[in-house]
Amino acid sequence: MKKSLLLFAAIGALLIGCRPVSNPEIRMNQVGFGPLQEKTATIDVCCAEAQPYVAFVLAANGDTVWSGTGSATMLNPVSGKPRQVIDFSSVTEPGEYTLHVPFGQMNFTVCQHPYRELTRKALRAFYYQRASMPIVEPYAEGYERKAGHPDDHVLVHSSAATAERPEGTPLDCSGGWYDAGDYNKYIVNSGYTMGVWLMAYEMNKDYFDHLSLNIPESEQPVPDMLAEAMYNIRWMMTMQDLDGGVYHKLTEANFEGFIRPDECEKTRYVVMKTTAAALDYAATMALAARVYAPYEEIYPGFCVEATEAALAAYGWAMAHPDVYYDQPKMNELFKPEITTGAYDDFDVTDEFYWAATELYLLTGDEMYKEEAMKHKPATYIPAVWGNVAELASMEWMLRTNDVEPLLAHLKPYTDEVETISVHHSPYGNRENDFFWGCNSEGCCWRGIEYLFAYKLTNNEQYLANAQRCLNYILGQNATGYCYVTGFGQKPVCHPHHRLSYSHPKGTHPGFLAGGPNPMRQDAETDGVKYPKDVPADESYLDYQPSYASNEVTINWNVTLFALTAGLDALSD
């Protein structure tokens, strides 16, 4: 009985393609390589003194198409583990291959568009995240579910009460995407996500104009990715108060359990207006008013409405330049207590810079240019939800070509690839590369920076490094995981994602997991157990409770597809 159960479990696991293959010695991009793309893999070797290992590549018909050796042994600068890099870039014919090394083997694919399906799935992930509507076939592609969180009767929290909208006033704030593994909707993170989203669109318009996502709006004469984004932008618009201020978030008082959206019954609130929310909102609306201008017929009146919304929000922020979201402090003053995601940010200089930049580009009003320059940061800082300066800097770079600060920022990482990187990547060579959400905020974002540098300079070295960042995400990394659900031979199977956990079909495809995080906040507060003494770059658990290393979010997924789409667009 036991044996047959085991057999069934094994067959079931194989059928759903979610059985991690234990192959610790070989780490490589498990999704595929373009014909002319650099192709490398990383192998573990016995010791620092190991001589280059012998390796060869077999084609599907058994022919040896490449043979050679690994590099000199290098010690991983984070863990100290001895590794070698194998370079088999000369395999250029599309096909299925196997890389053989002394202690193992691993299959890989060479094809013309290795990242098209990945890009499509990473974008479709947002369709799955839609609140307030059912996910139906033929768009669900196997992941149908009932609507949840109508959000048409959200209450004004005491922290957000005004004379016109006193505490408990019901508002209709339906639609939008769930933020992450939780079911709440946060303006700061949505704003950042829309910024990266629309910037990705602007940089690859032709590509996205032709990318079909199979969503309910696919028949409309508007690019699918803009239609998907509009679902969230419309929700964001409902979050503006009558005075121009914007609620920080729409949330339950405390996180839901791991139940389906349609089972959720907690009261939802709009909470406290903040400067960061107003500015991220203003930037998003100004950017959207510009990007959606050609689609006036499909979205009548949208651009005027978005422009007015942006101006009003910016005006509010100028009048309230330092209202920060401090959840513990807020909870001392207002009830019910709110314990969900904070997205707290106590420096809004960068938000002023981004919003003023977008308002200037939309209106041409010099006042906003002055405002932008007043808030421009002195140093170069990668863009994350809590620091959006680079989103503005990218807009300026596109117009002035002043790319030097970006190149200077990238230089040390570029140098590391050739000198110390056991994963042949400009990411993952430093202890501080690893933190909550680092797969996106560290690795994918750096890949996007390289792509951007390539666009502005045409220097192929930057393109190669963008690709290397993606290789890291897709398996050439310290854990050997392909960090995107539904992809790779060692995929992420158990993300911290209520939608996936509560769905009969389980893990939804196309989501990027947060990644190794040595701070392990989930261990402290929720008793998540990590193996003892794991190095920073392996501090990751494919384990549903591990929200600090294995959650999925909209802001991370947008960087995934911005990177894969940018690379895929070049494969045509």
Note the residues at the interface with ligand G3I (CB under 6 A).
179-182, 341-343, 384, 386, 432, 435-437, 441, 519, 547, 551, 553
| 5 Cβ contact partners less than 8 Å away, ≥ 6 residues apart | none
Report the nearest approach of ligand 9MR to the CB of residue 536 (Å). 20
3-class SS letters over 514-565: CCCCCCCHHHHHHCCCCCCCCCHHHCCCCCCCCHHHHECCHHHHHHHHHHHH
| 67 Cβ contact partners less than 8 Å away, ≥ 6 residues apart | 54, 55, 56, 57
Q: Which is nearer to ligand G3I, 291 or 384 (CB)?
A: 384
- Which single residue brings its beta carbon nearest to ligand 9MR? 182
Report the nearest approach of ligand G3I to the CB of residue 438 (Å). 8
Pick what 526 binds: ligand G3I, ligand 9MR, none; C-beta below 5 to 8 Å, kind-dependent: ligand 9MR
CA dihedral (34, 440, 513, 472) positive or negative:
positive
Report the nearest approach of ligand 9MR to the CB of residue 334 (Å). 19
Question: Read out DSSP for 223-274?
Answer: -HHHHHHHHHHHHHHTTB-TTS-BEEEEEESS---S--GGG----EEEEEE-
Cα(276)–Cα(345) distance, rounded to whole angstroms? 7
Q: Which is nearer to ligand 9MR, 341 or 510 (CB)?
A: 341
Report the nearest approach of ligand 9MR to the CB of residue 464 (Å). 34
Q: Which is nearer to ligand 9MR, 56 or 255 (CB)?
A: 255
Q: Which is nearer to ligand 9MR, 228 or 256 (CB)?
A: 256
Cα(302)–Cα(392) distance, rounded to whole angstroms? 23
Pick what 519 binds: ligand 9MR, ligand G3I, none; C-beta below 5 to 8 Å, kind-dependent: ligand G3I
The strand pairing partners of 186, in sequence order, are 249
| 500 Cβ contact partners less than 8 Å away, ≥ 6 residues apart | 485, 506, 507, 508, 511
Supply the residues annotated as catalytic: 182, 496, 542, 551
Report the nearest approach of ligand G3I to the CB of residue 410 (Å). 17
Report the nearest approach of ligand G3I to the CB of residue 244 (Å). 25
CB 488 within 8 A of CB 114: no
CB 320 within 8 A of CB 284: no
Pick what 403 binds: ligand 9MR, ligand G3I, none; C-beta below 5 to 8 Å, kind-dependent: none
Q: Which is nearer to ligand 9MR, 69 or 521 (CB)?
A: 521
Q: Which is nearer to ligand G3I, 192 or 281 (CB)?
A: 192
Q: Which is nearer to ligand G3I, 180 or 270 (CB)?
A: 180
Report the nearest approach of ligand 9MR to the CB of residue 562 (Å). 22
| 11 Cβ contact partners less than 8 Å away, ≥ 6 residues apart | none
CB 502 within 8 A of CB 476: no
Query: Helix or strand or coil: residue 67?
Result: strand
352 alpha-carbon distance from chain centroid: 23
Pick what 437 binds: ligand 9MR, ligand G3I, none; C-beta below 5 to 8 Å, kind-dependent: ligand G3I
Cα(386)–Cα(188) distance, rounded to whole angstroms? 8
Q: Which is nearer to ligand 9MR, 442 or 480 (CB)?
A: 442
Structure tokens at 72: 């000199």
Report the nearest approach of ligand 9MR to the CB of residue 344 (Å). 11
Pick what 428 binds: ligand G3I, ligand 9MR, none; C-beta below 5 to 8 Å, kind-dependent: none
Question: Read out DSSP for 9-54?
Answer: HHHHHHHTT------TTEE--SS-B-TTS--EEEEE-S-TTPPPPE
- Which single residue brings its beta carbon nearest to ligand G3I? 341
> Cα(first)–Cα(last) distance of the chain, in Å?
53
Pick what 255 binds: ligand G3I, ligand 9MR, none; C-beta below 5 to 8 Å, kind-dependent: ligand 9MR
Return the DSSP state at 496: B
Structure tokens at 536: 């920073």
Cα(122)–Cα(137) distance, rounded to whole angstroms? 18
Q: Examine residue 336 and say whether the peptide bond preceding it is cis (omega within 30 degrees of 0).
A: yes
Q: Which is nearer to ligand G3I, 241 or 256 (CB)?
A: 256
Binding site for ligand 9MR (CB under 6 A): 180-182, 255, 341, 525-526, 545, 547, 551
Report the nearest approach of ligand G3I to the CB of residue 349 (Å). 16
